[in-house]
Amino acid sequence: MQLFKYLRGASLTLLVTALLAGCDAVVMSPSGDVAVQQRDLLVWATVLMLLVIVPVIVLTLWFAWHYREANTKANYKPDWNHSTVLELVIWSVPLMIIIALGAMTWVSTHKLDPYRPLDRIDAHTPVPATLEPLTVEVVALDWKWLFIYPEQGIATVNELAAPVNHPIRFKITASTMMNSFFIPAMAGQIYAMAGMETKLHGVINEPGVYKGFSANYSGAGYSQMKFDFHGLSEEDFDDWVAKVKASEGNLSRDEYLQLEAPSIDEPVSYYGEVDPTLYYGIFNRCVEPGQVCMEDMMYHAGMNKHAGHHADAKANHEGHQDHEGNAGHPHHGGHHE
């Protein structure tokens, strides 16, 4: 029994040490409601799985100790081969855990869908019906982040800000390589892909400066593709917007094409003005003069396809009419020279 007590004490010590070592991990102590719900899902899923893992580990160690060769007091049953109660426990407990995990995952997957607008600020505060989310257009560049605020008419590089307790709607795309937009304190990661737009809804509940970065390898400057996310009061956010507006930068399409060039460890920069059609051009791959936007290409392709179907249908209809006409008036003449 001394070995069993020693192993139990060592296991508890390692468990407590691991838990204490993770106290500063932002994933386990987030500041946004979405990330809090994701944290809770991870915790509950882990606890449910430990209901099987821990007993199996403990019983394995106990059996090895109790039925050791030196223990002459152990009840030796060489002919034992079945226990109905044990079979029920072995199969029913994991089955119930799988059902619980499945139900919990199903509900959480739909509730925490990044495309789904938020319905609450935190666990006790629903989103007011009159409160519109802050829209931020995110562009992953090589190797930096561009944030466009269409409602405020400003843009920033490698710095993001939003008021606390205010829903945020991110529209996310990329210029070249696929990246992953991730602010662990606020919500889960979501991919940024060229020619595509992904969405993320989140909220930050506590003022502070939080780390954001790319969670997907994208080349030489990937490790420096970081930014600060400032959670501000409404007043401080207004001041921040005013500061950005006061900057002399003007993010035109020409300026963007220069910014798009690969660079590593890009400093924070502000643009007090921004081309209102820039994000559309980036998303549709038509920033440069003379480029045809993907939306227009797909529209014309769809129209041509529709016109082709219409022409085929008309030809088939006319052919059907000709066939009916020939069937009604058969040709009786012979061969004409």
Q: Which two tokens stand for residue 11?
A: 């296991």
Among the listed residues 112, 166, 168, 163, the one whose alpha carbon sits nearest the alpha carbon of residue 136: 168
pTM, rounded to two decimals: 0.78
Asked if 169 contacts 135 with a C-beta cutoff of 8 angstroms, the reply is yes
**Helices H / strands E in the chain, number of each:** 7, 15
Q: Which two tokens stand for residue 212?
A: 């954001």
Asked if 259 contacts 300 with a C-beta cutoff of 8 angstroms, the reply is no
Q: What is residue 221's three-state secondary structure?
A: coil
CA separation for the pair 166, 33 (Å, rounded): 11
The CATH code belonging to domain 125-284 is 2.60.40.420
Exposure string for 99-127, b = 16+ CB within 10 A, e = fewer: eeeeeeeeebeeebebeeebeebeeeeeb
DSSP track, 258-321? HHTS--SSPPPEEESEE-TTHHHHHHTT--STTPPPHHHHHHHHHHHHHHHHHHHHHHHHHHHH
Show Cβ contacts of residue 332 under 8 Å, excluding neighbours closer than 6 positions. none
Tell me the pLDDT of the chain (337 aa) as tens digits. 555 555 555 555 555 455 445 545 788 889 999 999 999 999 999 999 999 999 999 999 998 998 888 888 888 888 888 889 989 988 999 999 999 999 999 999 999 999 999 999 999 999 999 999 999 999 999 999 999 999 999 999 999 999 999 999 999 999 999 999 999 999 999 999 999 999 999 999 999 999 999 999 999 999 999 999 999 999 999 999 999 999 999 999 999 999 999 999 999 999 999 999 999 999 999 999 988 999 888 876 666 665 555 555 555 555 555 545 554 444 444 444 3
Please state the domain extents for the chain.
125-284
